[in-house]
Structures are given as C-alpha cells and as structure tokens.
Amino acid sequence: MTLEASPPSALPDDTIAAVATAIAPGEGSVAIVRISGPEAEAIGCRLFVAPGDQSWESHRVLYGHVCDPASGERVDEALLLLMRAPRSFTRETVVELHCHGGLICVQRVLELVLASGARRALPGEFSQRAFLNGRLDLTRAEAISELVTARSRRAAQLAMAGLDGGLQERIAFLRERLLDQLAELEARVDFEEDLPPLDGPAVAHQLQDVQAALEQLVADGQRGQLLREGLKVAIVGRPNVGKSSLLNLLSRSERAIVTDLPGTTRDLVESELVLQGVPITLLDTAGIRTTSDRVEQIGIERSRAALQAADAVMLLFDLSAGWCAEDQALRDLVPEAVPLVVVGNKADCLARTNEPTAQADVCISALTGAGQDDLVQQLLCRCGHSDPQGVQQALNRRQQDLAAAAAASLGASLEAARQELPWDFWTIDLRAAVRALGEITGKEVSEAVLDRVFSRFCIGK
C-alpha cells in the first residue's frame, strides 16, 4: 500500500526577491533585500560593487555599493551576504543585500533586483521553498510564522517549541503507530490464510492510545491558542463605576481619563497588555445609560457593539452603591456564549457600607489594586484557560482541526472493532486518520493546502 503523497508541485526553478525586514519612513537603520534561486548570485554580481580585493565566497560578508548597471549610479552603501546552496534557509543559493533602512533606498534596491531578472516573492514563498526543498516540515514552517507574529513571550516560547521539532516528532510518532496497525490489518485483508491470527483487541488498544493522545493535543492546542491570539475583553458597566480606573490599573498607565463625572468616557479606549502570558486587548467602553447627549449616545452605541463582539466581558458595578436593576439589564445584554466576569469595584468602601457581594464573581479596588490577581485568574478561568502557562507544545488551528479529524476517524475504526466487522472495515477510517496526520507535517499535502498555509506569512519570510 502507498500512503505517502507525491510532491505537490515541481520544485521551483525561478529566482524570487523581497524585502525581508519591516520598512517605514524614518524608521529602522537597516533593511534586507533577500534573493533566492538559481540566478541569485548572478544578480548580486551584477548589482554589487565591492572595492579592493574582497573574496567573493559563500557565507562571507562583503562591503560595497549597490549600483545601477545601466547608469553606474551608486544607489546605496551596503553589505552583501552570499549563501550558496544547499547551505541556506531555502536550500537554494541566497543573496542578502543589507541596505540602509527607511523607504527610498531599499525600494530602489529591490527595483534593481527585479529588473535584473528576479520575480517579486509571494507571501511566505521563501518558507514554502524551504519546505519543498526538504529544509523544513510543515509544522516547523508554521512555527516560523507564529514566532514572527508572537504577541507575548509565552507565545514566542510556544513557537520555538514548534520550531525545535518536538511537535513534528510527536505527530510523526503517532502516525507511525497507526501505520504499523494499518499494515497488520491490510496484510490480513490480503493474506489472512497465510498469516497467524491477528489480535483484534490489541490493535483496538493501540488505536485507543493514539486517539487519547490526539485528543490531549487538541485540548492543549485550544489552551495554547489563547497565548497566540489573545483575548479582546470589553469592560462594561454603568457610568462612574470605575471602568477607566480599572483599565488604567491593568495597563499600568493613564490610558483613560478618570473623573467623578458620569459620561466622561465618550468613545472606546483600547489598551494592549499581557496578563499571565496572555495578550489582552482591553476595551474601556462608555457607560451605558439613557442620555440626551448625542456624542455620548454614539459612544454608548459603540459600547453595545463592542460588548457583542468581545471574546469576554468584565461587567463592573459599584459595591458601595450595590447591585441594581440597571446592572442586571447590562448583564442581560451579554450573549450567553460570551464568558462573563461580574466585578464588584470599590472594595475599599465595602467595609463602610456592608453591602452584599453575592452578585460579584470577584471584588476589587481599582483605586488600590486589591483583588487584581484574582480578577485576572477569574477571567482566564471563565475563558477555559486556567493554566495557560502549563502548555509546552500547542497545535495551531489548522493542526487542531486535522488532529480532531484523525481522532474522530479512529473513533469510527474502534466502532467497527466493537461491532466485530471484517478487517477491511477497520482500515477505511484508519487510512483517513493516517492521511490527516500526514497533512499536519506535510507528508501528505496538496498544493492548495500549501498555498493556503503560506499565504498567511509575511512577504519576505
């Protein structure tokens, strides 16, 4: 039987180029133009002039100038790094031109490279070539993209764990176990009379073990997704209950104006922060109430929209004033599927008022910071991630879907086992599970899947 997929496409034979660093006017001291392919070295020789007797060798940095071959004009003072195949990221010959940053110089250098025969690279095409040339498996390639886009230190650590190959090794090990069982089953289908009897319960036990491992990987991936993507959390409540004070407390900055006057916040105020390794976008919303002020009305409308679109909601109420019908009305606005934490604020006044706190999931003081850690823990727990720090390796969404599909296929194979169906009924869904795991690492993958995966990368990576 043959389960390995043929290459999704012929290996590339053209030369690509792109700016491999972020560029912005007046920002960044260095920019890199990356060239990869059979003509990369020739293009570098055509455009780069190195003074003196510098040796043009692989993995050696040269100093010189990028010049326009048509006019001889010096376009930029630069460094050139040549990496001959296969000792490069793409396993093709790669040339990097390290130019001055900004916009004009680097764009002119790229224009000269393209005019000399290179093609502008597509998003993620350098990484795609590394995959096609056997430099990376698909899990490592995706880890590169996740490392570039990481929004927290923990997210970067997860990406590095994938880049180190641990995830690929786990998936490959589970896939090999399934292939072993599939080989035994296929042999019995074709040559059962010539082979000793197969221990069906032992095969089923192996499939159950792999299914449990896949389900655990999916669960860890869902927890790890929080570290990668973060949460958008809306802070809602009546006017003057301390929403802006809470935003300032958690973000450790004066992002929002705080006064004793109701209706101070007229628009959404966003703050990006990291709480226990989880990227959080906090939305301080306008206090929701009935008002004739048109500007405040617009802010309240935006607050309602933010409440509906948020990943989680923190509903603040004033402990010193107690829970009221308006607070309950706000709670009723929160969609049932959205995690909600009811926060009683102004706990520093609680001892004086003796108001009941039964409605509060957690009590805090945005003034003193009391209860802040409990609030963060409650928020993460409500979102189903009580211990995101405990995740060491995590599948991304694409990989989770495939692992879940493989686990479901194994469930169907186990059902065939429970019904004591013939061996070939076991193999149908077992083959599907093997294919799904192969698609995670790139052992079995179509060109359309590759295009979809690498199109999410930044250009130049």
The CATH number for 56's domain is: 3.30.1360.120
**Residue 222: both structure tokens together:** 């869902």
168 shares its domain with 48: no
Give the integer Cα–Cα distance in Å for 295 and 348. 33
Of the two residues 429 and 387, the one the predictor is more confident about is 429
Residue 47 resides in a domain: yes
95 shares its domain with 120: yes
244 shares its domain with 359: yes
Give the integer Cα–Cα distance in Å for 180 and 174. 10
Evaluate if residue 46 carries a pLDDT over 90: yes
Residue 114 resides in a domain: yes
Q: What digits encode the pLDDT tens for the residues 212-270?
A: 999 999 988 887 877 777 888 888 888 778 877 888 888 774 443 333 434 444 345 67
131 shares its domain with 199: no
Q: What digits encode the pLDDT tens for the residues 405-424?
A: 999 999 999 999 899 888 88
Give the integer Cα–Cα distance in Å for 222 and 260. 41
pLDDT more than 70, % of the chain: 82
- Closest-CA residue to 275 (of 252, 258, 256): 252
How does DSSP classify residue 23? Answer: -
Q: What digits encode the pLDDT tens for the residues 198-209?
A: 888 899 999 999
Query: Where does a domain end: 106, 122, 137?
Result: 137
358 shares its domain with 397: no
* Mean pLDDT, range 137-148, rounded to an integer: 84
> Domain total for the chain?
3
Residue 421 resides in a domain: yes
Q: Are 83 and 58 in contact (CB under 8 A)?
A: yes
347 shares its domain with 436: no
64 shares its domain with 112: yes
The string of DSSP letters for 242-296 reads: SHHHHHHHHHTS--S---SSTT---S-EEEEEEETTEEEEEEEPPPP-----HHH
Evaluate if residue 298 carries a pLDDT over 60: no
365 shares its domain with 261: yes
The CATH number for 415's domain is: 1.20.120.430
The predicted structure's pLDDT at residue 350: 64
Evaluate if residue 396 carries a pLDDT over 90: no
The CATH number for 275's domain is: 3.40.50.300
217 shares its domain with 258: no
- Tell me the residue range of the domain where 350 lies: 235-310+312-381
193 shares its domain with 326: no
